[in-house]
Chains A and B, each alone.
Chain A
Amino acid sequence: MNDIMDLNGFVIGHIPFADIVPYLTPFSLALVSTIVVFTVFLALSNPELRSVARFREDTVRTVTVEKKEARFRRFMTILCGISLIGVVTTGDLFNFALFVSLTGITNMGIFAGIKDSHVLDAAFQYGLVMMICTLPLFGGVAITLAKTGTLSLGVLAGMPSNPILNISRTLILVGAVGEGALAPFFATKVEMIRAKGAPYINMMHLSSLMVFTRVIEILFILG
Protein backbone atom coordinates (compact mmCIF):
# COMPACT_ATOMS: atom_id res chain seq x y z
CA MET A 1 0.00 0.00 0.00
CA ASN A 2 2.99 2.27 0.55
CA ASP A 3 3.72 4.37 -2.49
CA ILE A 4 7.23 4.33 -3.94
CA MET A 5 7.35 8.13 -3.69
CA ASP A 6 6.61 7.95 0.06
CA LEU A 7 9.30 5.36 0.66
CA ASN A 8 12.16 6.52 -1.53
CA GLY A 9 11.52 10.10 -2.61
CA PHE A 10 10.98 11.20 -6.20
CA VAL A 11 11.79 8.98 -9.17
CA ILE A 12 14.91 10.29 -10.92
CA GLY A 13 14.62 8.15 -14.03
CA HIS A 14 13.22 4.92 -15.39
CA ILE A 15 13.83 2.65 -18.40
CA PRO A 16 10.54 1.73 -20.09
CA PHE A 17 10.96 -1.91 -21.06
CA ALA A 18 7.34 -2.81 -21.77
CA ASP A 19 6.30 -4.28 -18.43
CA ILE A 20 9.64 -4.31 -16.67
CA VAL A 21 10.47 -0.81 -15.47
CA PRO A 22 13.79 -0.38 -13.66
CA TYR A 23 13.62 2.87 -11.74
CA LEU A 24 16.11 5.04 -9.89
CA THR A 25 15.30 7.06 -6.77
CA PRO A 26 17.66 8.93 -4.43
CA PHE A 27 17.55 5.92 -2.09
CA SER A 28 18.46 3.37 -4.77
CA LEU A 29 20.97 5.81 -6.29
CA ALA A 30 22.87 5.75 -3.00
CA LEU A 31 22.84 1.95 -3.00
CA VAL A 32 23.93 1.77 -6.66
CA SER A 33 26.82 4.18 -6.11
CA THR A 34 27.96 2.16 -3.07
CA ILE A 35 27.91 -1.04 -5.12
CA VAL A 36 29.73 0.54 -8.08
CA VAL A 37 32.47 2.05 -5.89
CA PHE A 38 32.93 -1.19 -3.96
CA THR A 39 33.00 -3.34 -7.10
CA VAL A 40 35.54 -1.08 -8.86
CA PHE A 41 37.69 -1.09 -5.72
CA LEU A 42 37.62 -4.89 -5.56
CA ALA A 43 38.21 -5.30 -9.30
CA LEU A 44 41.35 -3.16 -9.15
CA SER A 45 42.83 -4.67 -5.98
CA ASN A 46 45.22 -7.62 -5.79
CA PRO A 47 44.56 -10.68 -3.62
CA GLU A 48 45.99 -10.66 -0.11
CA LEU A 49 49.21 -12.32 0.95
CA ARG A 50 48.21 -14.12 4.11
CA SER A 51 50.95 -15.03 6.62
CA VAL A 52 50.49 -18.00 8.93
CA ALA A 53 52.51 -18.26 12.14
CA ARG A 54 52.91 -21.74 13.61
CA PHE A 55 52.79 -22.28 17.35
CA ARG A 56 56.16 -23.43 18.86
CA GLU A 57 57.94 -22.88 15.55
CA ASP A 58 60.07 -19.98 14.53
CA THR A 59 58.68 -19.72 11.01
CA VAL A 60 56.09 -17.56 9.29
CA ARG A 61 54.69 -18.95 6.07
CA THR A 62 52.83 -16.96 3.45
CA VAL A 63 49.86 -18.34 1.57
CA THR A 64 49.43 -17.02 -1.96
CA VAL A 65 46.54 -17.23 -4.37
CA GLU A 66 47.23 -18.57 -7.85
CA LYS A 67 46.82 -16.10 -10.70
CA LYS A 68 44.20 -18.11 -12.56
CA GLU A 69 42.14 -18.63 -9.42
CA ALA A 70 42.34 -14.94 -8.55
CA ARG A 71 41.18 -13.98 -12.05
CA PHE A 72 38.15 -16.25 -11.83
CA ARG A 73 37.26 -14.90 -8.42
CA ARG A 74 37.60 -11.31 -9.64
CA PHE A 75 35.31 -12.08 -12.57
CA MET A 76 32.71 -13.55 -10.21
CA THR A 77 32.99 -10.47 -7.98
CA ILE A 78 32.26 -8.15 -10.91
CA LEU A 79 29.32 -10.35 -11.93
CA CYS A 80 28.02 -10.23 -8.36
CA GLY A 81 28.20 -6.42 -8.45
CA ILE A 82 26.20 -6.30 -11.69
CA SER A 83 23.52 -8.59 -10.32
CA LEU A 84 23.35 -6.49 -7.14
CA ILE A 85 22.68 -3.39 -9.26
CA GLY A 86 19.83 -5.38 -10.78
CA VAL A 87 18.53 -6.25 -7.33
CA VAL A 88 18.35 -2.66 -6.13
CA THR A 89 17.01 -1.03 -9.31
CA THR A 90 14.51 -3.51 -10.74
CA GLY A 91 10.83 -2.61 -10.78
CA ASP A 92 9.48 -6.09 -11.34
CA LEU A 93 8.87 -8.60 -8.58
CA PHE A 94 9.88 -11.67 -10.58
CA ASN A 95 13.05 -10.00 -11.81
CA PHE A 96 13.86 -9.25 -8.18
CA ALA A 97 13.61 -12.97 -7.39
CA LEU A 98 15.80 -13.84 -10.38
CA PHE A 99 18.48 -11.28 -9.49
CA VAL A 100 18.55 -12.45 -5.87
CA SER A 101 19.08 -16.03 -7.08
CA LEU A 102 21.83 -14.83 -9.41
CA THR A 103 23.50 -13.06 -6.49
CA GLY A 104 23.48 -16.31 -4.55
CA ILE A 105 25.00 -18.25 -7.44
CA THR A 106 27.78 -15.69 -7.98
CA ASN A 107 28.44 -15.65 -4.23
CA MET A 108 29.01 -19.37 -4.41
CA GLY A 109 31.21 -18.93 -7.48
CA ILE A 110 33.56 -16.64 -5.55
CA PHE A 111 34.30 -19.56 -3.21
CA ALA A 112 34.25 -22.35 -5.77
CA GLY A 113 37.95 -22.55 -6.63
CA ILE A 114 39.38 -22.65 -3.12
CA LYS A 115 41.32 -25.80 -2.27
CA ASP A 116 40.14 -26.04 1.33
CA SER A 117 37.69 -28.77 2.21
CA HIS A 118 36.18 -26.85 5.16
CA VAL A 119 35.36 -23.88 2.94
CA LEU A 120 34.01 -26.09 0.18
CA ASP A 121 31.88 -27.96 2.71
CA ALA A 122 30.39 -24.68 3.94
CA ALA A 123 29.83 -23.51 0.36
CA PHE A 124 28.06 -26.78 -0.39
CA GLN A 125 25.74 -26.37 2.59
CA TYR A 126 25.04 -22.78 1.52
CA GLY A 127 24.18 -24.08 -1.94
CA LEU A 128 21.72 -26.55 -0.47
CA VAL A 129 20.00 -23.80 1.56
CA MET A 130 19.95 -21.62 -1.56
CA MET A 131 18.28 -24.33 -3.64
CA ILE A 132 15.65 -24.98 -0.98
CA CYS A 133 14.91 -21.26 -0.66
CA THR A 134 14.00 -20.91 -4.34
CA LEU A 135 10.74 -22.58 -3.28
CA PRO A 136 9.49 -19.81 -0.92
CA LEU A 137 10.97 -17.02 -3.06
CA PHE A 138 9.34 -17.97 -6.37
CA GLY A 139 6.28 -19.35 -4.58
CA GLY A 140 5.68 -16.01 -2.88
CA VAL A 141 6.03 -14.20 -6.19
CA ALA A 142 3.62 -16.61 -7.88
CA ILE A 143 1.02 -16.22 -5.11
CA THR A 144 1.30 -12.43 -5.45
CA LEU A 145 0.72 -12.80 -9.19
CA ALA A 146 -2.30 -15.03 -8.61
CA LYS A 147 -3.84 -12.62 -6.12
CA THR A 148 -3.24 -9.32 -7.87
CA GLY A 149 -2.73 -10.23 -11.53
CA THR A 150 0.41 -8.09 -11.86
CA LEU A 151 4.08 -8.16 -10.93
CA SER A 152 4.97 -4.51 -11.49
CA LEU A 153 6.00 -2.83 -8.25
CA GLY A 154 4.54 0.48 -9.40
CA VAL A 155 1.08 -1.09 -9.68
CA LEU A 156 1.46 -3.21 -6.57
CA ALA A 157 2.29 -0.10 -4.55
CA GLY A 158 -1.27 1.17 -5.01
CA MET A 159 -3.01 -2.03 -3.95
CA PRO A 160 -4.48 -2.47 -0.45
CA SER A 161 -3.04 -5.15 1.79
CA ASN A 162 -4.83 -8.42 2.49
CA PRO A 163 -4.05 -11.76 4.21
CA ILE A 164 -2.96 -13.54 1.02
CA LEU A 165 -0.46 -10.78 0.25
CA ASN A 166 0.83 -11.10 3.81
CA ILE A 167 1.47 -14.82 3.23
CA SER A 168 3.39 -14.05 0.06
CA ARG A 169 5.34 -11.31 1.85
CA THR A 170 6.42 -13.84 4.49
CA LEU A 171 7.43 -16.32 1.81
CA ILE A 172 9.45 -13.70 -0.09
CA LEU A 173 11.22 -12.72 3.15
CA VAL A 174 12.12 -16.34 3.92
CA GLY A 175 13.38 -16.88 0.37
CA ALA A 176 15.52 -13.75 0.29
CA VAL A 177 16.96 -14.59 3.73
CA GLY A 178 18.05 -17.99 2.45
CA GLU A 179 19.45 -16.73 -0.83
CA GLY A 180 21.41 -13.87 0.73
CA ALA A 181 22.66 -15.96 3.70
CA LEU A 182 21.01 -13.64 6.22
CA ALA A 183 20.19 -14.13 9.89
CA PRO A 184 19.42 -17.81 10.60
CA PHE A 185 21.65 -19.14 7.83
CA PHE A 186 24.79 -17.07 8.31
CA ALA A 187 26.70 -19.94 9.97
CA THR A 188 27.73 -21.22 6.54
CA LYS A 189 28.85 -17.72 5.59
CA VAL A 190 31.09 -17.46 8.65
CA GLU A 191 32.77 -20.75 7.69
CA MET A 192 33.19 -19.60 4.09
CA ILE A 193 34.91 -16.38 5.10
CA ARG A 194 37.85 -18.38 6.50
CA ALA A 195 39.02 -18.77 2.90
CA LYS A 196 42.16 -17.04 1.68
CA GLY A 197 42.06 -14.23 -0.87
CA ALA A 198 40.52 -11.51 1.25
CA PRO A 199 39.27 -8.59 -0.88
CA TYR A 200 36.93 -10.56 -3.11
CA ILE A 201 35.31 -12.32 -0.19
CA ASN A 202 34.03 -9.00 1.16
CA MET A 203 31.59 -8.93 -1.75
CA MET A 204 29.49 -11.45 0.14
CA HIS A 205 28.93 -9.03 3.02
CA LEU A 206 27.88 -6.31 0.60
CA SER A 207 25.47 -8.63 -1.19
CA SER A 208 23.84 -9.66 2.10
CA LEU A 209 23.43 -6.01 3.04
CA MET A 210 21.94 -4.96 -0.30
CA VAL A 211 19.56 -7.92 -0.55
CA PHE A 212 18.36 -7.21 2.98
CA THR A 213 17.80 -3.49 2.27
CA ARG A 214 15.93 -4.15 -0.94
CA VAL A 215 13.72 -6.92 0.45
CA ILE A 216 12.62 -4.64 3.29
CA GLU A 217 11.60 -2.02 0.71
CA ILE A 218 9.64 -4.62 -1.28
CA LEU A 219 7.87 -5.83 1.86
CA PHE A 220 6.82 -2.23 2.54
CA ILE A 221 5.57 -1.84 -1.03
CA LEU A 222 3.52 -5.05 -0.86
CA GLY A 223 2.07 -4.57 2.62
Chain B
Amino acid sequence: MNPLADTVVPTLVPQIFVNFYPIAIVIAIITAVVGLSGLILERNDFQKILIIQIPIFAMYLIVSAVGTDLAEALILPGMVVSLAELLAVSEILIFRELTKREKKGESPRVMNFKYDQIKMEVLKTALPITSVVCVIYGVILTGFTGGAVAGAGILIYLFVGKVGGFSHEFWEEMAGISGVAYVFWLLGFLIYFIAPQYWLIALFMSGGGIIIKVALKFGLLGILGREEYNR
Protein backbone atom coordinates (compact mmCIF):
# COMPACT_ATOMS: atom_id res chain seq x y z
CA MET B 1 0.00 0.00 0.00
CA ASN B 2 1.42 3.36 -0.98
CA PRO B 3 1.53 6.13 1.59
CA LEU B 4 -0.29 8.66 -0.60
CA ALA B 5 -3.49 6.74 -0.95
CA ASP B 6 -4.09 4.73 2.20
CA THR B 7 -7.19 6.62 3.30
CA VAL B 8 -8.90 7.57 0.03
CA VAL B 9 -12.39 6.62 1.26
CA PRO B 10 -11.41 2.97 0.92
CA THR B 11 -14.89 1.47 1.01
CA LEU B 12 -16.19 3.61 -1.85
CA VAL B 13 -13.28 3.74 -4.29
CA PRO B 14 -12.25 0.58 -6.13
CA GLN B 15 -8.75 -0.65 -5.39
CA ILE B 16 -7.58 -0.09 -8.96
CA PHE B 17 -8.21 3.67 -8.71
CA VAL B 18 -6.39 3.80 -5.37
CA ASN B 19 -3.39 2.12 -6.98
CA PHE B 20 -3.47 4.55 -9.90
CA TYR B 21 -3.44 7.65 -7.67
CA PRO B 22 0.37 8.16 -7.36
CA ILE B 23 0.81 7.50 -11.09
CA ALA B 24 -1.81 10.14 -11.88
CA ILE B 25 -0.10 12.65 -9.58
CA VAL B 26 3.29 12.01 -11.21
CA ILE B 27 1.76 12.43 -14.68
CA ALA B 28 0.14 15.69 -13.55
CA ILE B 29 3.47 16.99 -12.23
CA ILE B 30 5.20 16.08 -15.52
CA THR B 31 2.41 17.85 -17.45
CA ALA B 32 2.77 20.96 -15.29
CA VAL B 33 6.56 21.00 -15.75
CA VAL B 34 6.19 20.70 -19.52
CA GLY B 35 3.61 23.49 -19.63
CA LEU B 36 5.54 25.86 -17.36
CA SER B 37 8.83 25.35 -19.22
CA GLY B 38 7.01 26.13 -22.46
CA LEU B 39 5.65 29.26 -20.80
CA ILE B 40 9.18 30.40 -19.87
CA LEU B 41 10.46 29.95 -23.43
CA GLU B 42 7.51 31.64 -25.13
CA ARG B 43 7.64 35.39 -25.85
CA ASN B 44 4.35 35.99 -27.66
CA ASP B 45 1.54 37.01 -25.28
CA PHE B 46 -1.21 35.29 -27.21
CA GLN B 47 0.75 32.04 -27.32
CA LYS B 48 1.29 32.37 -23.57
CA ILE B 49 -2.47 32.28 -22.97
CA LEU B 50 -2.72 29.14 -25.07
CA ILE B 51 0.20 27.38 -23.37
CA ILE B 52 -1.11 28.24 -19.92
CA GLN B 53 -3.95 25.78 -20.52
CA ILE B 54 -1.42 22.95 -20.04
CA PRO B 55 -0.81 23.65 -16.29
CA ILE B 56 -4.58 24.06 -15.89
CA PHE B 57 -4.99 20.66 -17.49
CA ALA B 58 -2.57 19.33 -14.85
CA MET B 59 -4.91 20.84 -12.23
CA TYR B 60 -7.83 18.87 -13.71
CA LEU B 61 -5.67 15.74 -13.53
CA ILE B 62 -4.87 16.21 -9.84
CA VAL B 63 -8.50 16.87 -8.93
CA SER B 64 -9.89 13.99 -10.97
CA ALA B 65 -7.27 11.57 -9.65
CA VAL B 66 -9.18 11.44 -6.35
CA GLY B 67 -11.80 9.38 -8.13
CA THR B 68 -14.84 9.85 -5.85
CA ASP B 69 -18.18 11.47 -6.65
CA LEU B 70 -17.02 14.56 -4.76
CA ALA B 71 -14.06 14.93 -7.13
CA GLU B 72 -16.48 14.82 -10.04
CA ALA B 73 -18.47 17.60 -8.38
CA LEU B 74 -15.31 19.64 -7.80
CA ILE B 75 -13.95 19.50 -11.33
CA LEU B 76 -16.84 21.51 -12.82
CA PRO B 77 -16.27 24.61 -10.62
CA GLY B 78 -12.57 24.31 -11.35
CA MET B 79 -13.29 24.38 -15.07
CA VAL B 80 -15.63 27.36 -14.64
CA VAL B 81 -13.00 29.29 -12.71
CA SER B 82 -10.27 28.62 -15.25
CA LEU B 83 -12.64 29.57 -18.08
CA ALA B 84 -13.56 32.83 -16.33
CA GLU B 85 -9.88 33.66 -15.84
CA LEU B 86 -9.18 32.85 -19.49
CA LEU B 87 -12.00 35.19 -20.60
CA ALA B 88 -10.82 38.00 -18.30
CA VAL B 89 -7.18 37.75 -19.40
CA SER B 90 -8.07 37.64 -23.09
CA GLU B 91 -10.38 40.68 -22.70
CA ILE B 92 -7.48 42.56 -21.14
CA LEU B 93 -5.19 41.46 -23.98
CA ILE B 94 -7.68 42.68 -26.62
CA PHE B 95 -8.17 46.00 -24.82
CA ARG B 96 -4.42 46.50 -24.47
CA GLU B 97 -3.78 45.95 -28.16
CA LEU B 98 -6.62 48.36 -29.06
CA THR B 99 -5.20 50.98 -26.67
CA LYS B 100 -1.73 50.64 -28.13
CA ARG B 101 -2.97 51.03 -31.70
CA GLU B 102 -5.16 53.96 -30.74
CA LYS B 103 -2.13 55.69 -29.30
CA LYS B 104 -0.13 55.15 -32.48
CA GLY B 105 -3.06 56.42 -34.54
CA GLU B 106 -2.81 53.73 -37.14
CA SER B 107 -5.02 51.17 -38.81
CA PRO B 108 -8.57 52.62 -38.78
CA ARG B 109 -9.95 49.20 -39.68
CA VAL B 110 -8.81 47.83 -36.35
CA MET B 111 -10.07 50.92 -34.55
CA ASN B 112 -13.60 50.33 -35.82
CA PHE B 113 -13.45 46.67 -35.00
CA LYS B 114 -16.31 45.80 -32.66
CA TYR B 115 -16.58 42.42 -31.04
CA ASP B 116 -19.80 41.15 -29.57
CA GLN B 117 -19.89 40.62 -25.86
CA ILE B 118 -20.17 37.00 -24.91
CA LYS B 119 -23.78 35.95 -24.50
CA MET B 120 -24.34 32.97 -22.26
CA GLU B 121 -27.68 31.55 -21.27
CA VAL B 122 -26.44 30.80 -17.76
CA LEU B 123 -25.93 34.52 -17.12
CA LYS B 124 -29.64 35.13 -17.70
CA THR B 125 -31.11 32.14 -15.89
CA ALA B 126 -28.74 31.17 -13.12
CA LEU B 127 -28.84 34.35 -11.03
CA PRO B 128 -32.65 34.68 -10.60
CA ILE B 129 -32.92 30.97 -9.86
CA THR B 130 -30.15 31.23 -7.30
CA SER B 131 -31.98 34.09 -5.60
CA VAL B 132 -35.27 32.14 -5.55
CA VAL B 133 -33.53 29.10 -4.04
CA CYS B 134 -31.90 31.33 -1.41
CA VAL B 135 -35.27 32.88 -0.47
CA ILE B 136 -37.00 29.49 -0.19
CA TYR B 137 -34.18 28.03 1.89
CA GLY B 138 -34.23 31.10 4.11
CA VAL B 139 -37.99 30.69 4.71
CA ILE B 140 -37.41 27.07 5.68
CA LEU B 141 -34.57 27.96 8.04
CA THR B 142 -36.49 30.79 9.83
CA GLY B 143 -34.91 33.00 12.44
CA PHE B 144 -31.91 35.26 12.05
CA THR B 145 -29.92 32.89 9.84
CA GLY B 146 -32.90 32.35 7.56
CA GLY B 147 -33.37 36.10 7.30
CA ALA B 148 -29.73 36.50 6.31
CA VAL B 149 -29.97 33.81 3.62
CA ALA B 150 -33.25 35.18 2.20
CA GLY B 151 -31.82 38.70 2.28
CA ALA B 152 -28.81 37.50 0.31
CA GLY B 153 -31.20 36.03 -2.25
CA ILE B 154 -33.12 39.29 -2.57
CA LEU B 155 -29.83 41.17 -2.84
CA ILE B 156 -28.72 38.94 -5.71
CA TYR B 157 -32.03 39.59 -7.49
CA LEU B 158 -31.65 43.35 -7.04
CA PHE B 159 -28.09 43.25 -8.38
CA VAL B 160 -29.20 41.38 -11.46
CA GLY B 161 -31.73 44.10 -12.26
CA LYS B 162 -33.38 43.99 -15.63
CA VAL B 163 -30.58 42.04 -17.25
CA GLY B 164 -31.68 38.63 -16.09
CA GLY B 165 -35.01 39.27 -14.41
CA PHE B 166 -38.24 37.44 -15.14
CA SER B 167 -39.25 39.72 -18.01
CA HIS B 168 -41.68 39.02 -20.83
CA GLU B 169 -38.89 38.04 -23.23
CA PHE B 170 -37.49 35.70 -20.63
CA TRP B 171 -40.60 33.56 -20.72
CA GLU B 172 -40.84 33.78 -24.48
CA GLU B 173 -37.45 32.32 -25.02
CA MET B 174 -37.24 28.59 -25.03
CA ALA B 175 -33.92 28.78 -23.26
CA GLY B 176 -35.71 30.11 -20.18
CA ILE B 177 -38.08 27.16 -20.01
CA SER B 178 -35.12 24.88 -20.48
CA GLY B 179 -33.47 26.45 -17.45
CA VAL B 180 -36.60 25.96 -15.33
CA ALA B 181 -36.82 22.33 -16.37
CA TYR B 182 -33.19 21.93 -15.43
CA VAL B 183 -34.00 23.24 -11.96
CA PHE B 184 -36.84 20.74 -11.66
CA TRP B 185 -34.38 18.01 -12.48
CA LEU B 186 -31.97 19.23 -9.80
CA LEU B 187 -34.77 19.61 -7.24
CA GLY B 188 -35.84 16.04 -7.92
CA PHE B 189 -32.36 14.84 -7.11
CA LEU B 190 -32.31 17.03 -4.01
CA ILE B 191 -35.53 15.42 -2.75
CA TYR B 192 -33.92 12.01 -3.10
CA PHE B 193 -31.30 13.03 -0.58
CA ILE B 194 -33.37 15.20 1.77
CA ALA B 195 -36.62 13.20 1.96
CA PRO B 196 -36.22 9.71 0.50
CA GLN B 197 -39.80 8.76 1.40
CA TYR B 198 -41.12 11.05 -1.36
CA TRP B 199 -39.20 9.15 -4.01
CA LEU B 200 -42.13 9.02 -6.43
CA ILE B 201 -42.45 12.80 -6.64
CA ALA B 202 -38.69 13.09 -7.01
CA LEU B 203 -38.72 10.52 -9.80
CA PHE B 204 -41.43 12.38 -11.72
CA MET B 205 -39.77 15.76 -11.20
CA SER B 206 -36.34 14.67 -12.31
CA GLY B 207 -37.63 12.54 -15.16
CA GLY B 208 -39.96 15.22 -16.54
CA GLY B 209 -37.34 17.93 -16.04
CA ILE B 210 -34.62 16.09 -17.92
CA ILE B 211 -36.97 15.29 -20.80
CA ILE B 212 -38.06 18.94 -21.23
CA LYS B 213 -34.53 20.21 -20.79
CA VAL B 214 -32.95 17.92 -23.36
CA ALA B 215 -35.81 18.47 -25.82
CA LEU B 216 -35.50 22.26 -25.55
CA LYS B 217 -31.74 22.09 -25.86
CA PHE B 218 -32.16 20.42 -29.22
CA GLY B 219 -34.69 23.09 -30.17
CA LEU B 220 -32.16 25.72 -29.16
CA LEU B 221 -29.58 24.17 -31.46
CA GLY B 222 -32.10 24.45 -34.27
CA ILE B 223 -32.68 28.14 -33.50
CA LEU B 224 -28.95 28.80 -33.50
CA GLY B 225 -28.54 27.06 -36.85
CA ARG B 226 -31.38 29.13 -38.37
CA GLU B 227 -29.78 32.36 -37.16
CA GLU B 228 -26.50 31.34 -38.76
CA TYR B 229 -28.28 30.79 -42.08
CA ASN B 230 -30.08 34.13 -41.93
CA ARG B 231 -26.82 35.95 -41.36
Contact = CB atoms under 8 A, between A and B. Distances in A.
B65 to A, nearest CB: 7
Interface string A130-151: 1110110011011101111101
B99 to A, nearest CB: 5
A148 to B, nearest CB: 7
A134 B88 contact: no
Nearest to A142: B63
A51 interface: no
Contact of A149 (B9, B39, B56, B78): B9
B66 A145 contact: yes
Contact of A138 (B8, B63, B91, B145): B63
A181 B228 CA distance: 43
Nearest to B84: A105
B92 A120 contact: yes
A62 interface: no
A132 B85 CA distance: 10
Contact of A134 (B39, B45, B81, B96): B81
B contacts with A: majority SS: helix
Given A15-B149, A116-B99, A120-B92, A101 B81 contact: yes
B8 A149 contact: yes
Interface of B: 3-5, 7-9, 21, 25, 28, 32, 36, 39, 45, 48-49, 52, 55-56, 58-59, 62-63, 65-66, 68, 70-71, 74, 77-78, 81-82, 84-86, 88-89, 91-93, 95-96, 99-100, 102-103, 141, 144-145, 148-149
Given A124-B93, A134-B59, A146-B8, 10 more contacts: A15-B141, A98-B77, A127-B89, A128-B52, A130-B85, A132-B52, A142-B62, A143-B62, A145-B74, A146-B65
